[in-house]
Amino acid sequence: MNCQFSILEDEALLHISGPDSLNFLQGQTTCDTQEVGGSRATHGLYCTPQGRVVCDFLLLQLEDGHFAMRMRRDIREHAASVFGKYIVFSKAQLDATNDEWRVVAVWGEAAAATLEKALGVKPAARHEAVTAGSCIAVQLDDSGHAFECYGRDVEALLESLSQAAQPCEESAWQRMQILAGIPRIEAATIEMFVPQVLNYDLTGHISFTKGCYTGQEVVARLHYRGKSKRRTFLAQPGEAAGAGDPVFSVDGAQSIGNVVNCAVGEPRLALVSATLEAPQLELHLHSAEGPPVSLSQPPYPLDTD
């Protein structure tokens, strides 16, 4: 059985509804919301005017005029408060309290076939969305091995999945996302990073062809006129780490990076944003004398030349 599934309790939806929803988000976020509809979702970011990432999200349509940004639950309230400063000028409303919709992850080599058996349909490309009854499924990768499903009532889906897939803890899904090199913003790292140091320019979270949005000047300048001096790497820490924890070289007095995400389980896995030369150095968590941590390339090319 090469298919797993899990209810994602650490994920939550920030709902936005009203006729101006997509226009509002088009002027605030890094993604092109003109691509979003009943058959397509997209990844994106919301940045401060200084280009610091407030939240990462997957934007999808739930119903006519009703959209949602899937993000980490521990940042939803803060993201809503920042969006809320500007949405008052639009015919759109935010809702950060609606937890009727649940998120279910399905992944593995047999995930597409298993999902099609459960729903009768399946997405066939990255970011494609399909609706089956009260459930919406979105494909997150190019290979068709990772999906998220959203619904007010997911009991029938869970029952069907339990017949053909292995139930897992949410940490198993988080480990897979780390191995895919997909960073997530957590409460400890809100407004800590600019997008490029988290590889978001490489993972499809930024449109460089859309119009203006909050933070665009900083993000675009680094893309077109410079090169990020830091990138995000896969990491194996010597002990459990937390988001935001500093990373030091053995002979350094200043931090050369920070933990972005860390997964529960063995072997320990993490994502670390660090200087381009960091993978060649002897590194430690918390201080130059702390537990060791080693870095390696994510499963996609980095622009480090």
Nearest to 232 by CA among 127, 141, 304: 304
Upstream peptide bond of 299 is cis (omega within 30 degrees of 0): no
Separation of alpha carbons 157 and 155, rounded Å: 5
Nearest to 270 by CA among 283, 252, 255: 283
**What pLDDT does residue 304 have?**
57
Mean pLDDT by 10 residues, the chain (305 residues): 94 98 97 97 98 98 97 98 93 96 98 97 97 96 97 96 96 97 98 98 96 94 89 93 96 92 92 97 95 96 74
pTM: predicted TM-score of the whole model, two decimal places: 0.96
Amino acid at 289: E
Q: Are 184 and 58 in contact (CB under 8 A)?
A: no
Separation of alpha carbons 262 and 269, rounded Å: 6
**What pLDDT does residue 252 have?**
82
